[in-house]
Amino acid sequence: MKHIAQEVSDLIHRGLDSHVRLAVTGLSRAGKTAFISSLVNQLLHISTHEQLPLFSAVRDKRIIGAKRVPQSNLMVPRFSYDEAMEQLQQSPARWPVPTRDVSEIRLAIKYRSEKRSKRLLSGTSTLYLDIVDYPGEWLLDLPLLDMDFITWSKLQMNALHGIRAELAKPWLRELEALDLNQEADEKTLAHIASLYTDYLHQCKLQGLHWVQPGRFVLPGELAGAPVLQFFPCQMTEEEEIPVKNSMLELLNIRYQEYKNKVVKAFYKHHFSTFDRQIVLVDCLSPLNAGYESFMDMRGAIEQIMHSFRYGRNGLLHRLFAPKIDKILFAATKADHVTPDQHPNMVSLLQQMIHPAWQYAAYENITMSCISLASIRATCSGYIETNQIKSAAIQGTNLAGESITLFPGEVPKKLPQPNYWHQHQFDFVDFRPMSTDADQPCQHIRMDKALEILLGDKLK
């Protein structure tokens, strides 16, 4: 009965446009967990600290305060905010543990509305914000919803060039010896699937992002299950129609089961209900890794964007078929370069996501692009050499060493393959700056992100 009452309450809030579900999207290590931790932290400190000048509802002193409230979906684990803050408040501070499963957190934000219709109902209004966290690897499975096993196999086989072709050799040797028409043998399939999974792990270690299926590298509760024991195949036209009880038929069955029971359920329960979206992109790590890594990330983001529901949200849509009506693209780790490089980061990100931007623009939705640091890891300043001042950042690397350096220039445009022959990137990973228990996290442009994502909902 209590659950039904909660659903009715959520429906009313949606009808009054006082409920927002935010999709925090990004590939592995893009900074989703850090972003959510910082976003919650900033909002919870909103009534006692003034460090969000670009957030108009705060600047105009219309926000009264925010608090955590019980989430409506009781089947999804709570986002580990308290644990994340404990890690950030340690000495030395540590980054929050990355997401390994779906989690959720809900905030209630109380504010004074500018709209006369809301002021007539009450002196204050409340916006309920649901934030969902999930492993970046699982995002990579969403495009499978539009592919059968043959189509997916061809896509994976066509991707085997460059680094991928080298990494795939152990798996491909076993695959070439497999007769797809022979009677299905689970032990053989499990062995080849383990080699394919090893190949995906090696791709990740080499800085590649398009690893599919994503659950193979982060299986969660499905570890060891037969539904994760399949792999793409090279097939002739005659082999595309599987023989009954054959290896190929069992691979087909497992792929369909994975798509329908794992991917479709994940999409239905989470992704089909979002209103707003932020896409976090780490542009610096692919620059370190090279051209293949950079273009691989670009392709992965483009594919993922096609899996979300986009469009304008009218009343009926908000109630029964919510669609994302605003997207923010954010280049993360802005504090890992000097401030003069932030415009370059934004320009590079715009180039990197151009295909995804075109797709979203066609759906007539609002889009923005910024650079940010959810939780600062460095401070910026200048170093003087021979009476010449140069921009620099200072922080502590993951090994505990204090470093002051100019980390290098970020290219404004997508680099060509030969760019890496003339330029070597070495953007350092830093520890987060220490956060006091009674202070909000230090950040760069979290207030701008909040304004873009929630500003219009708090008027």
Sheet architecture: strand order including 388-396 = 378-385, 388-396, 402-405
Q: How far is CA 330 from the centre of its chain?
A: 10
User: Which helix H or strand E contains 451, and what residues bound it?
Assistant: helix 446-454
Report the C-alpha gap between 80 and 389 in whole angstroms.
43
The length of the chain, given as a count of residues: 459
Q: What is the pLDDT of residue 117?
A: 63
Q: Quick check: bond before 213 cis, omega within 30?
A: yes
Report the C-alpha gap between 236 and 53 in whole angstroms.
61
C-beta neighbour count of 446 within 10 angstroms: 27
Residue entry with tokens 């504090």: 335
Report the C-alpha gap between 432 and 88 in whole angstroms.
7
Report the C-alpha gap between 315 and 322 in whole angstroms.
9
Report the C-alpha gap between 337 and 177 in whole angstroms.
49
Q: What is the pLDDT of residue 268?
A: 80
Domains of the chain, start order: 2-134+270-378+434-458 (3.40.50.300), 147-266 (no CATH)
**For residues 440, 274, 219 and 162, what is the CA-based torsion angle, rounded to 10 degrees?**
-90
Q: How far is CA 240 from the centre of its chain?
A: 35
Greatest extent of the chain over all pairs of C-alpha atoms, in Å: 79
C-beta neighbour count of 224 within 10 angstroms: 9
According to DSSP, the β-strands at 125-133 and 19-26 are parallel
Distances (CA, A) of 363 to 139, 313, 367: 21, 12, 11
Report the C-alpha gap between 327 and 53 in whole angstroms.
21
> Which of the residues in the chain have pLDDT under 70?
1-17, 117-121, 272, 307-322
Distances (CA, A) of 297 to 92, 260, 300, 346, 411: 32, 26, 5, 16, 16
Q: Are 392 and 383 in contact (CB under 8 A)?
A: yes
Q: What is the pLDDT of residue 118?
A: 67
How many helices (H) and strands (E) are present in the chain, helices listed first?
Answer: 19, 10
Helical residues (DSSP H) of 73-228, grouped into ranges: 81-88, 116-121, 136-139, 149-158, 163-167, 169-176, 186-205
C-beta neighbour count of 365 within 10 angstroms: 17
Residue 167 φ/ψ region, left for φ over 0, alpha for ψ in the -120 to 50 degree band, beta for the rest: alpha
Residue entry with tokens 């689970």: 186
- Give the pair of three-digit tokens for residue 10: 């959520």
Task: Please list the residues that pair with 130 across neighbouring strands.
Answer: 21, 106
Please spell the DSSP secondary structure of 50-76, one letter per residue: ---TT-HHHHTT-EEEEEEE--S-TTS
Helical residues (DSSP H) of 321-397, grouped into ranges: 342-352, 354-362
- Give the pair of three-digit tokens for residue 24: 């925090």
Q: Are 425 and 333 in contact (CB under 8 A)?
A: no
Helical residues (DSSP H) of 2-89, grouped into ranges: 2-15, 32-44, 56-59, 81-88
Q: Are 144 and 263 in contact (CB under 8 A)?
A: yes
Q: Which residues contact 90 (CB under 8 A, 6 or more apart)?
A: none
User: Which helix H or strand E contains 23, and what residues bound it?
Assistant: strand 19-26
Report the C-alpha gap between 55 and 138 in whole angstroms.
32
